[in-house]
Structure 1
Amino acid sequence: MTRAFDAVIVGAGQAGPPLAGRLTAAGMTVALVERKRVGGTCVNAGCTPTKTLVASARTAHVVRQAAEFGIDTAPPQVDMARVRARMRRVVEASRDGLAAWLGGMEGLTMIRGQARLVAPDAVEVDGETLTAPRIFLNVGARPARPEMPGIDDVPYLTSTTILELDRVPQHLVIVGGSYIGLEFAQMYRRFGADVTVVERAPALIPREDPDVSQAIRGILEAEGIALRLDADCISLAPGPEGVCVRVSCAEGAPEVHGTDVLIAVGRTPNTDDLGLEAAGLAADARGFVPVNARLETAVPGIWALGDCNGRGAFTHTSWNDHEIVAANLLEGAEREVSDRVPGYALYIDPPLGRAGLTEAQARAAGHRVRTATRPMTRVGRAVEKGETQGLMKAVVDADTDAILGAAILGPGGDEAIHGVLDLMTAGVPAAGLVRAVPIHPTVSELLPTLFGALD
């Protein structure tokens, strides 16, 4: 059986559904194919569940710190089953809302099943062929499984399976000291677990500048999280407590023993079973579908959006992918991925908000830079809240005064960074931010002072 559509979208993650909405509103018939759950990683195994857990963990932390604010209370008792139940309610509400919207979308045919490309203009789903002159791949990614010695010898958690825990591990060992690993590290430490983070690099989150990375390290160590950096020979084996992680570091014991281990070393695009070759496509060495700045693949009529194209692994970049494609197709625009200013956040507490380039990235790109750094101890709002860990950093082009990047590691850093992100998008130079009159008392009020102190 064959059915013809104006467009076929493979994957109902963060780019697929809104793109379907734009295309059907323009009068097109659209097939949206999803083999698992609508919402993709963000709703089901990423942003929504993890940030819900982060909120529960912060609540436990605040209760423990209550005496510092003059409030006496009993130590918190974490009921992980109830924490998980709350997370599931939030996830299900989000997923159900999206499914209801798609179900009422005129012109959309929702198809459940595994999709495979069988031609440049055709997709097969459970024996049925769907043809269309436009095919959009939005297949997302999954936790990476590294070729690590001993990984087949012990049960291990991933960023997806750990969401189903209804208990607090006695000692959680996390392999991977980047964004995913660190969020779970602080979260489970606050739930009451002993936590050790094992990282191959000599610093946490090595893509960040050393001063930011070191500040993050201080925040985590202050909460009792053990860090094993420069782990040059990581392997797994059964241990007396449950699992043994061999690290072979220059300092410290060569092994870490824990009850549970979380593997958090990145994500792998879901392109290996997509039948790319049948459509004349090939994934790159990391599994991504190569695209140009307009998100077009090498085959006319096929686009790749979201995590599978290697142009960004965030919900907001996936959403922006759909905006770029829809504007170019429906409005005759000339939008490109290169137009957007990169931004992201690390959701430890306090969070890190990042806009644009780090200092190291800016210098590597050939910029002559000016920088400024201020500690959170200089921010009145942070002092009042008793949350003075962290810093702010600005990076500006010394020749043009263009804002190249900024980091805010402190209370509300994930929100305050948008003041910089918006100005960068609008092309406002650093001098324009210096003239701003921010509201007091806020974290953002230090931004004009920060940019006015460039070296």
Structure 2
Amino acid sequence: MTDRSPSSSGTLLTPDICVIGAGSGGLSVAAAAVAFGVDVVLVEKGKMGGDCLNYGCVPSKALVAAAKHAHGIREAAAFGVNAGDPQVDFARVHAHVHEVIASIAPHDSVERFEGLGVRVLQDEARFVDARTVSAGGHTIRARRFVIATGASPMVPPIPGLDDVSYLTNETIFDLTECPGHLVIIGGGPIGMELAQAFRRLGARVTVLEAMKALGKDDPDLAGIVLERLRAEGIDIREGAKVARVEQRGAGVAVHVESDDAPAEAAIEGSHLLVATGRRPNLAGLDLDAAGIIHDRRGIIVDRGLRTSNRRVYAIGDVAAGEEAGGLQFTHVAGYHAGLVIRSILFRMPVHENRGIIPWVTFTDPELASAGLSEAEARARHSDIRVLSSAYAENDRARAERRTEGSIKVITDSRGRILGAAIAGANAGEIINMWALAVSQKMKIKAFTGFISPYPTMAEIGKRAAIGFYTPSLANPWLRRLIRFLRVFG
């Protein structure tokens, strides 16, 4: 990397790669590139580690873990262990969440990345032209740029929302007292995970979803999760359209319309959480100056994650691919990082394959998917097989009293695995083997031939796989062969 001093633009930096955004995807690109001896400049205007570390995956799963321990105390009597009702110290829960963030933060810190050899600029990045970025008093002219700026909570234009106090995933983890009544607008994964966590920690919770809660997942399996959440006392209202909100005393009133009750009904809560999706972080980048096409979904990229400016890639939440809809997951950003490293450093042709990307909603029971859903498989294939097995048929699930749930495996007529979905305990762990099967285009036979240790919940997958061959048991020719072979003793 060379430094020069243009007359009006500060220091000129000429790295091989300039990464904009220090979330999981940007950090992965920077770390991998510098490990190969490549000059890298990393620009981040906010917190290192991005949304995942500071506002997303890490704090939410830490909160979910605390809630699971509280719920475990309530369930202990069924195992002959009497502990009474849990006493939740919410200030300590808050401390636990931020201790987890603090324990991971050094791995994503400026100091660590500068120690690796990355030049880190803590400032806003802005494109000056098609091959130049300005940041922190520096002009950066890199061979390639990678935009990894992520996404932020999307706040819908609800009348009155600007006049009330509300929370998003960027502020809810700052609470040091448990809400009396948490009203959540949005019944997607974020809304449902936090709904269950706060309910288990002592809050009353109401979820308002304009369409179907967990509507992007298999409806049969999502139904299992929603039934459990309702059983725990969460009021989930689907088809509920928020007309307006208003401050009411120290709390908030949310006015709701539904098809069943066209007249507005007011729901009063102590706190309001807006969890209605996420929007790509594009503000301030001045993408038009670089000839980078973008829209409300994000930066438009091809299957190789290149933008309309061939020097520039976009990865993670900010990238909008050729297929409709973004997959805003940390592991997708990591997957994208690997692809662009191969493209930039080794000039290898790369293509994003969204069909192999799994995802998990960390409710209890968990909800996990990989590959095609049943509906998608029916739309693309003339003949499919749907294999299933219930947790209630699994001995480990019975031993742990975790019998809610099921696995659904989709194959084509020849047994190639097209997709799998699971609702149940440890679904996020079990889905890994099915994600591997989908990515490697494996056949269901592989799952009938391996030996699964007993007793494990992963056995439910093998039980489902065996179901592929059940119809052959009634084959008359097979039965005649067996009778014939008996003749030989």
By the TM > 0.5 criterion, same fold? yes
Distance in 2 (alpha carbons) for counterparts of 1:313 and 1:395: 24
- Provide, for residues 212-260 of structure 1, a one-character-per-residue CA deviation record: whole Å limited to 9, x for no partner: 1211111101111011111135431223561111221244782222111
Distance in 2 (alpha carbons) for counterparts of 1:367 and 1:96: 51
User: Among 281, 285, 288, which residue is 1:277 paired with?
Assistant: 288
In structure 2, runs of 5+ residues without a counterpart are 1-9, 321-325, 472-489
- When structure 1 is superposed on structure 2, of 133-142 and 423-432 the one drifting more is 423-432
In structure 1, runs of 5+ residues without a counterpart are none
SS at match of 1:167: coil
> What does residue 175 of structure 2 align with?
165
SS at match of 2:149: coil
**Superposed displacement of residue 444, structure 1:** 0.8
User: Among 382, 386, 390, which residue is 2:405 paired with?
Assistant: 390
Q: Does 1:319 align with 2:334?
A: yes
User: Among 295, 299, 318, which residue is 1:289 paired with?
Assistant: 299
- Provide, for residues 102-140 of structure 1, a one-character-per-residue CA deviation record: whole Å limited to 9, x for no partner: 12112x211110111111111111342111121110101
User: Among 13, 21, 26, which residue is 1:3 paired with?
Assistant: 13
Distance in 1 (alpha carbons) for counterparts of 2:189 and 2:260: 24
SS at match of 2:157: coil
**2:438 is aligned with what amino acid?**
M
SS at match of 2:299: coil
> What does residue 302 of structure 1 align with?
312
User: Among 216, 221, 233, which residue is 2:225 paired with?
Assistant: 216
User: Among 261, 275, 294, which residue is 1:264 paired with?
Assistant: 275
Report if aligned partners of 1:321, 1:337 keep a CA contact under 8 Å in 2.
Answer: yes
Distance in 2 (alpha carbons) for counterparts of 1:263 and 1:139: 21
Report if aligned partners of 1:139, 1:270 keep a CA contact under 8 Å in 2.
Answer: yes
**1:160 is aligned with what amino acid?**
E
Distance in 1 (alpha carbons) for counterparts of 2:284 and 2:131: 17
**Superposed displacement of residue 412, structure 1:** 0.8
Report if aligned partners of 1:5, 1:131 keep a CA contact under 8 Å in 2.
Answer: yes
> What does residue 349 of structure 1 align with?
364
User: Among 175, 191, 197, which residue is 2:207 paired with?
Assistant: 197
> What does residue 375 of structure 2 align with?
360
Distance in 1 (alpha carbons) for counterparts of 2:15 and 2:135: 14
SS at match of 1:446: helix
Report if aligned partners of 2:199, 2:205 keep a CA contact under 8 Å in 1.
Answer: yes
- Provide, for residues 152-205 of structure 1, a one-character-per-residue CA deviation record: whole Å limited to 9, x for no partner: 12111101110100011111011111100000000000000000110011x311
Distance in 2 (alpha carbons) for counterparts of 1:48 and 1:349: 17
> What does residue 457 of structure 2 align with?
443
Higher-Rg structure is 2
Q: Does 1:427 align with 2:456?
A: no
User: Among 45, 66, 71, which residue is 2:76 paired with?
Assistant: 66
> What does residue 237 of structure 1 align with?
246
Report if aligned partners of 1:141, 1:269 keep a CA contact under 8 Å in 2.
Answer: yes
**Superposed displacement of residue 340, structure 1:** 5.9
> What does residue 111 of structure 1 align with?
121
Classify 1:328/1:453 alpha carbon distance in 2 versus 1 (closer, same or farther; 3 Å): same
- Provide, for residues 416-450 of structure 1, a one-character-per-residue CA deviation record: whole Å limited to 9, x for no partner: 11111111222211222222221111111121221
Q: Does 1:14 align with 2:24?
A: yes
Report if aligned partners of 1:228, 1:249 keep a CA contact under 8 Å in 2.
Answer: no
> What does residue 452 of structure 1 align with?
466
- Map 1:65-144 onto structure 2 (within 5 A): 65-99=75-109, 100-106=111-117, 108-144=118-154
SS at match of 1:65: helix
Distance in 2 (alpha carbons) for counterparts of 1:367 and 1:234: 43
Q: Does 1:376 align with 2:396?
A: no
**Superposed displacement of residue 316, structure 1:** 0.6
**Superposed displacement of residue 26, structure 1:** 2.6
User: What is the aligned residue count?
Assistant: 451
How large is the RMSD of aligned CA atoms in angstroms?
Answer: 1.7
SS at match of 2:341: helix
SS at match of 2:294: coil
- Provide, for residues 303-347 of structure 1, a one-character-per-residue CA deviation record: whole Å limited to 9, x for no partner: 001110035311111001111111223234333112760200000
Report if aligned partners of 2:390, 2:460 keep a CA contact under 8 Å in 1.
Answer: no
> What does residue 24 of structure 1 align with?
34
> What does residue 481 of structure 2 align with?
none
- Provide, for residues 53-81 of structure 1, a one-character-per-residue CA deviation record: whole Å limited to 9, x for no partner: 11111011101111111111132111111
Report if aligned partners of 1:241, 1:258 keep a CA contact under 8 Å in 2.
Answer: no
**Superposed displacement of residue 452, structure 1:** 2.6
**1:374 is aligned with what amino acid?**
S
**2:40 is aligned with what amino acid?**
V
Report if aligned partners of 1:241, 1:257 keep a CA contact under 8 Å in 2.
Answer: no
**1:328 is aligned with what amino acid?**
S
**1:407 is aligned with what amino acid?**
A
**Superposed displacement of residue 148, structure 1:** 1.4
TM-score normalized with structure 1 length: 0.95
Distance in 2 (alpha carbons) for counterparts of 1:271 and 1:142: 10
Distance in 1 (alpha carbons) for counterparts of 2:464 and 2:246: 49
Report if aligned partners of 1:237, 1:244 keep a CA contact under 8 Å in 2.
Answer: yes
Provide the identity percentage: 34
